[in-house]
Structures are given as C-alpha cells and as structure tokens.
Structure 1
Amino acid sequence: MASGAIGERVSAYRRRRGLSQAALAGLVGRSESWLSQVERGLRSVDSLPVILDLSRVLRVEPEKLIGRPWQLAPNGDPAIDVLDEVRGYFTRYDDLLDPEPKGPIDQAALRVTIAQAHQTYQAARYGAAIGQIASMLSTVDQASRGPTAARDKELMLGYVSAYVVTAKLLTKLGATDLALLAADRAANRAMEIDSKVARGMAAYQVVCALLRADRSDDAEHLAVKMAEQVQAGARSDRPTIVSVAGALWLIAAVIAARRMDRDQAWARLDRADHLAGLLGEDANHAWTAFGPTNVKLHRISVATEMGDAGEAVRLAADVDPAQFPEGLTSRRAQVHLDLAWAQAQRKRDAEATLHLMEAERTAPEAVRYNSLVRELIREMLARSGKSQTSALNDLAVRAGVID
C-alpha cells in the first residue's frame, strides 16, 4: 500500500497507472488544478463518490486509497436525514393538483417569516432553519398564485428571497439537487421582475449550487457576468446594489482561487474591496453580509484555497470577527474554519484543532454540517494515528466523523 495522506496515495497510484494529472482528472470529472491541489495536500477529498471514481480508475481498493477503515471515510452529510420534509415539498408538486390559492395571504407576516429564515441561517442554526422551510415555501407559493401577484413587485421579491434562503441552506447541507432546483426557481422569478437586486441574489445562489455540483466553469461565467452587470448600477446611495455586486465578486474570487488563478483571484477581491469602500460599513443588505470585514475574510479564504497558508495566517491578524453585524454568527465562525484549514496545510494540527474548537464554540452547527471540516478532521486523525489527542477525538465524535 502506498504511504502518506490521500493526496500522496493518489499521486503514487496515478504514476503506477501511467496517467497524467490531466488524464486522471478528466476520467473522474474534475479539473487538473483540483487534482494538483489534492496531490499536494492542499485539498482533501470530501466525497465518497469521488473516492470511488478515483479507486475505479486507479484500479485500487478504496480502503487502500484512503488509507483508513471505511468508518473513517467520507460518509455523506449528517443533515440529509432532516431534509425529508423539504424534499417532500419539492417532489410532491402539490401546485399541479390544486393551483388555486387557498385564500388571502398576510403579506406582512410572510415578510417576517422570510426574514426569520434568513436570520436563522446566518446564525448557523441550520437544524432550526430547515424546519421553517417547507411551511414558508408553501405560503409564498400560494401567495404567488393570487390574481394580482404578478403585478405585486414586493411579493415577487419576497418569493425570490424565500427561495434564495432555501437554496443557501440546501447548498450548505449538501443537498445539491434540491439546491439547484430552489436556485432555479428564484432565478426564473427574478427574471420577471425589474430588479437587479433580485437577479443578483438569485444568480449568487445559482453560482453556489453549481459549485457544489462541480460545475465551476458555469458558476464562474455567471458570477463574473452578473457582477459586472450589477456593479454598473452601484452607487454609494444604493447600498443594496453595492452589496450584491460585492458578494458576486467575492464568490468569483474564490472560484478563481480554486483553479489556482492567483491574478484573477486577487483582482476580483480588489473589485470587491472597492465596493466595500463605497458601502463604507460592515452591513447585511439583501442578506449578503457584505462589507469591509467580509472582504478581509475572503482574502483569508482565497489564500487558503491556493495553499498560501502562511499568507492566510498573516491576513487573519487584520480581521476582527466582532466587526460583523449582530446575528452573523456563521461569518464569525468562518474565520476559524479557514484558519483551521490553513494550519492543517502546514501540518500544525494542534493549532488547527484549537481553531475548530473555537469555531464550534461560536457556531456548533457550522462545524457539524461542513463537509470540508469533517474531511479535515479525518485527515488529522489519520496523521495522528495512536497519538491523537482527546480533544481531536472528542471533536471528531461531535462532528459525526466517528461514533
């Protein structure tokens, strides 16, 4: 059996098979830059289907490839079981059976419900948020079928916002098929409204869902083109437009980093930084969490994505998570999640564990429902062997990595 972490094993078995990185990447439906990052230990493999594809092409047993027992292999998302009600709502298509609205909708109450869903999501209370989704979507769908709904711009904006937060949550929980469906419904309705904000919000969620589905080229094209369109209307007296454009540039920067395009990644961060300066504050317009601190956080994320762990740690010294507006718990935790990944890249697992514990203290579900975090923990467990600390082992249990 080849020794080392999964990236080293993939590299060894690839060379044994006489395959180039480009060839192997193509055979498993991934980019060459992704495989390069895996082999260099900058990115792990957080998907069991991908491991099975790699093992099939490389003609090795999956356990030999991952170097550990199956119970420590990527095993899906612990949130999947709680999605039954939401999946049922999407797959029943009740609207086809009963297309008539059931009565007047209290639009003020609906707006409050949608706002609460966004707030619960941003607080990283994903279990509570998923419990709100089916009822919220049922109400917003009924409201959109009213005789005057198509002319009610505020109601249609509410529809887009409801499906946007649904797509956010489903993407976070790894339900890619449902996330794409929710983002598509938001996008279709946004195209009927004369609103760059609605189109930008919907586009952002389509981008996130496409990334989760490994459609990075399509995601990048949409993110950049929509960012350019929305930014054309950005002015200091239009903070929501500024925020949506900035959020799109941030996700576009992350995509560039994933394909190791350093120049594009930093250039897009600079465009976001300019918009953050135009905004002039850390805010949360259109539920984007956009502002100067979020741009700084994304600089850490981009550096980590490209394997510049030392740069990520250096940049973190300039980030104060307390600057995020109240309620953005997930953003505060993300600083520590990025630093945990950076320290793990440096093989400083004790520091990585401390950052994961701090992220868990800040937002427990941001750790438990994060596939990258779970695979990061698996890699550290594999490296530590019998010398693993009780802190890491206990964290692995709480994150659902081991029983």
Structure 2
Amino acid sequence: MKNPEFGPRVNYWRTRRRIPMAEFARLMGKSLRWLEDLEGGRRQADPQYSVMVLAARHLGITVDRLMSETIDTDCARETEVDAVRRALQRHDVITGNFDDGGEEAAPVEDLYRALAFARGGFQAGHFAQLGSEIPDLLVAASRAAHQHEGDDRLRAYEVLSLSLELTEAAAIKWGDAPLALLAGHRAVAAAERSQSPVIMASAARHLGDAMTAHGEAAAAAEFVLAAARRLEQELLRSGPDGYSTLGMLYLKAAMAAAAASEAEDRDPGRFSRRVPDYLDEADEHADRLGGDQDRLWTSFGPTNVDLYRVASHVYLSEGADAVAVAAGIPAGALDRLPRERRAHLLTDRAIGEKQAGQRQQSVQTLLEAEELAPEEVRCRPRTRALVEDLRILGAGSAEGRLRLLADRCGLPG
C-alpha cells in the first residue's frame, strides 16, 4: 500500500498532539533520526501495517483517520463562520425586539462569564471554537440589552459591544474582512448605548482594525484618532482601563497609517511619517499604566507597543527593522503575554525575516509560532500566504520543515 504521505501525516498528528519528537521516537521504539526521516518522507513510503498501527495508537487516533485523504487543520469551517453571520443578520439581534415566547434575559454576570470564557479561548489562539460560541453570546447579549432596565441595561450593552468586538477579532483571524466590518460597526453602536467611554474607545479601536483589514486604512486612522480626541479626557479620568483603551486607539492609528502608506502611490510619506508619532503616543499611555496589563483583553502595555512597532515595520516592508525590534523585546515580558499575542508577534517577525531575505530563519520562526498557537499559523490567510511565498522562493536547509508545515496548513502540494 504505497502512501508517500504517511510521514507528513504522522508529523501533522504528532504536532497537533503536542508530542515532542524525541518522546514520540521513544514511544515508537525508534531513534530520533528514524523519526526525522519518517516525517520528512524519506522512510516508510510504503509503510508496514504494524508501524501504522503503532503510530496511530500513540497518536490516539484510528489507522483510518491517520491515513485519511483529508487532513483536518482544525480551522473554522465555512459553516461555523456562516453561523456567526446569520446571528448578526437575525431580525431580533438587529432590532432588539425579542418576541419569542417570553424567554427571560440572562443575568449580566452570567453573560460576562460567558464572554470571558470565549475571550480566554481567543487569547489562547483557539479561533475555530468561536464559531460555535459567538452566535449564542450575541443572541443572549442582545436579548439582555433589550429586556433589562436601568444600570443592568447599560451593562448589558457593554457585554453586547464587547461580544461584537470579539466577533470582529475572530473574523479578522478567519480572513473575513466584510464580516469584521459589520461586527465592528455594530460594536460601536452598542458601545454608544452603554454610555461608557471605556467601552466606546474599545469598540472604536476594533472598528479601526476592521476598516484597515477591509482596505479603508486612511479612513480607519481618521476614525480612531477622532475617537481618541473625543474621549481622551474621560479616559484619562477612568484609570487603568481608560489608559489601556486610549493607548490601543493610538496603536490602531499607527497600524492604519502604515497600511495607508502602503496603499498610497502619490505621497505614501504623508502617512508613514505619522506612524512613529502614534506609537510614541501609545508609549506615553503605557508608561502611565505602569506595565503590561490585560484590561478589557487589550494586553496593553510597553511590550504590546513594541509588538505593534514590529507590525508597523512589516506593513512598511521594513523587514530588517522589524526583526531588530522583535529581537530587542525581553523574553520574560513576552512570556507574560497571551499565546495569541506571542504567536502574532512571531508571525510578524517571520514576515519581516522573509522581507529581509532570511527565509530559513522565517521557517523556524513560523514553527515556533505554530507550537504556541497552531491556528495562528495554519489557518490565517496571511500566514498561509507567507508559507506559499517561502515555498516559491526557497528556504534552503529548511525546505523539509517547510514542506511539512505546508501540509499541516492544508496547502496543495
């Protein structure tokens, strides 16, 4: 039964199960070199059935699943993304009119717990599961905002806005910019009804992100800066939550300006010149905050500002600068950030390394990101495009590892 894909399939499942290579070699009763050759496609091209059974047993799957023609990359399926889109298109979610037999709205505290759970999954890099969690959250939060009264209604609108922000963030990860834009606009509208300046700022920064992803970077920069000017005094009086959301507005302004510069043909400098100023403004608010914190799931602080410096250099095709800034970020500070933030930095760094001609190192950096948050590498369109570019350009001694990564990304051979 000739199957040249056996080794890459073992690699895919071993990586998915987070089993170190040396440990899996011991489980198989083989040497590390044997396993390296197997996963690299240089051994067992016509695998012995006993080897297949043993590998499947230690991987916790059936032989049929191990040898399946289709590798499940654990990415969000179109049906799950459609479920989120349908929830946003529901009449009762849009209008707030819930005439469904008198079902009572959930207590706001329960909604916050559900939101925190889903947000925790996002920060851990588990984006696919959000496709099944977000629709129920949107419906429940919309019902609560409609049925509660007084302060509970205001708090319900806060949860609704934050839930729509999560929808926007997930849609960005899924590569669905129109869905992100829709959720971002709804988040801003709900935030205004919450009457909370902090929630308004938080929603504005997410909409700015969505507008940038949708190709409206110049407008995004104007929007988030207008929000910052309008809300600044109230945010400064709001303490750490206010400092964090105000700082994030300037980080999004920097990213939007960098993206606008890349899209501008006549005078790109009019946007790129502003990027350092916005990053410096964010730095001031990070200093005011006093360190890295995760207020309202922002991960804002000096380290996240550095992450955005790396990202802005990548946007401006300044790969060597991006790599230099990334190398200067203290490892201890990075370790305290959520997995999604760390993996995002590594993928930005990998793009910078590709831009700087360091393609072999780019592959290694992608593998480090994959180990942290597999979906950030295997499922995001921008990262899959990077893998394709590296395959075309060549990655020297990293070719074998790149080929296996492309397989795990589900890219055609």
The one-letter code of the counterpart of 2:99 is P
What is the alpha-carbon distance in structure 2 between the residues aligned to residue 145 and residue 236 of structure 1? 29
Aligned counterparts of 2:331 and 2:119: Cα–Cα separation in 1: 20
CA–CA distance in 2 between the matches of 1:147 and 1:102?
12
Identity score, percent: 26
**1:142-168 CA-partner distances (Å, limit 9, x unpaired):** 111215268632222111111111111
Tell me the distance in 1 between the aligned counterparts of 2:228 and 2:207: 13
Change (3 A) 1:385 1:280: closer
Q: Return closer, same or farther for 1:398/1:105 CA change in 2, 3 Å cut-off.
A: same
Q: Does 1:289 align with 2:317?
A: no
Shift in CA distance, 149/396, structure 1 to aligned 2, threshold 3 Å: farther
SS of residue in 1 equivalent to 2:215: coil
In the alignment, the residues of structure 2 paired with residue 382 and residue 81 of structure 1 have an alpha-carbon distance, to the nearest angstrom, of 31
1:316-360 deviation per Cα after TM superposition (whole angstroms, max 9, x unaligned):
222135425756111111221111111101222101100100000
**1:207-257 CA deviation, whole Å, 9 max, x = no partner?**
111112111122111011112333333448701111001111111111222
Structure 2 match to 1:105: 106
Larger-gyration structure (1/2): 2
Q: Cα offset for 1:122?
A: 1.3
SS of the aligned residue for 1:389 comes to helix
Residue 98 of structure 1 deviates from its aligned partner by 4.5
Distance 2:169 2:250 in 1: 17
Judge which range, 371-380 or 325-334, deviates more: 325-334
Following the alignment from structure 2 to structure 1, what is the Cα–Cα distance between the partners of residues 172 and 241?
23
Does structure 2 conserve the Cα–Cα contact (< 8 Å) formed by 1:374 and 1:399? Answer: yes
Structure-1 residue corresponding to 2:119: 118
- Runs of 4+ more than 4 Å apart: 94-98, 324-327, 385-388
Aligned residues: 327
Q: Provide Cα deviations, 1:101-142, integer angstroms capped at 9, x if missing partner.
A: 511423222110011111111111001222211111121111
Listed one character per residue, the Cα deviations across residues 240-277 of structure 1 (whole Å, up to 9, x for unaligned) are 11100111111111122220533210011000011100
Which AA in structure 1 matches 2:206? Q
**Structure 1 position 318 matched with structure 2 position 319:** no
Over 3 Å counting, the alpha-carbon distance change for 1:324 and 1:340 in structure 2 is closer
Q: How does 1:245-394 map to 2 (within 5 A)?
A: 245-258=246-259, 259=261, 260=268, 261-320=271-330, 322-324=332-334, 328-384=338-394, 389-394=399-404
- Name structure 1 gaps, 5 residues minimum: 1-76
Q: Is the 1:235–1:278 Cα contact (8 Å) retained in structure 2?
A: no
Alignment pair present for 1:162 and 2:163: yes
Task: Assess if the C-alpha contact under 8 Å between 1:253 and 1:302 holds in 2.
Answer: yes
Taking structure 1 as reference, are residues 339 and 183 closer, same or farther at Cα in structure 2, changes over 3 Å only?
same
Q: What is the rounded CA distance, in whole Å, between the counterparts of 1:290 and 1:114 in structure 2?
A: 19
Give unmatched runs, 5+ long, in structure 2.
1-74, 262-267
Change (3 A) 1:143 1:326: farther
The 5 Å alignment of 1:214-225 reads 214-225=215-226
CA contact (8 A) 1:124 1:363 kept: yes
1:93 aligns to 2:103 (yes or no): no
Q: Do the aligned partners of residues 332 and 356 (structure 1) sit closer, same or farther apart at CA in structure 2, a change above 3 Å counting?
A: same
Mapped partners of 2:199, 2:282: distance in 1? 19
The normalised TM-score by structure 1 is 0.75
What secondary structure does 2:357 align onto?
Answer: coil
Do the aligned residues in 2 keep the contact of 1:282 with 1:324 (CA within 8 Å)? Answer: no
Superposed displacement of residue 86, structure 1: 1.6
CA gap 1:391/1:98 in 2 versus in 1, 3 angstroms: same
The amino acid of 1:215's aligned partner reads E
RMSD: 2.4
Q: 1:311 and 1:242 mapped to 2: Cα distance?
A: 28
* d(CA) in 2 for partners of 1:265, 1:219: 13
> Following the alignment from structure 1 to structure 2, what is the Cα–Cα distance between the partners of residues 398 and 167?
26
Q: 1:79 to 1:147 in 2, by over 3 A?
A: closer
Contact 1:293-1:323 within 8 A present in 2 as well: yes
Seen in structure 2, the aligned counterparts of structure 1 residues 79 and 365 have a Cα distance that, compared at 3 Å, is same
Give the structure 2 partner of residue 203 of structure 1.
Answer: 204
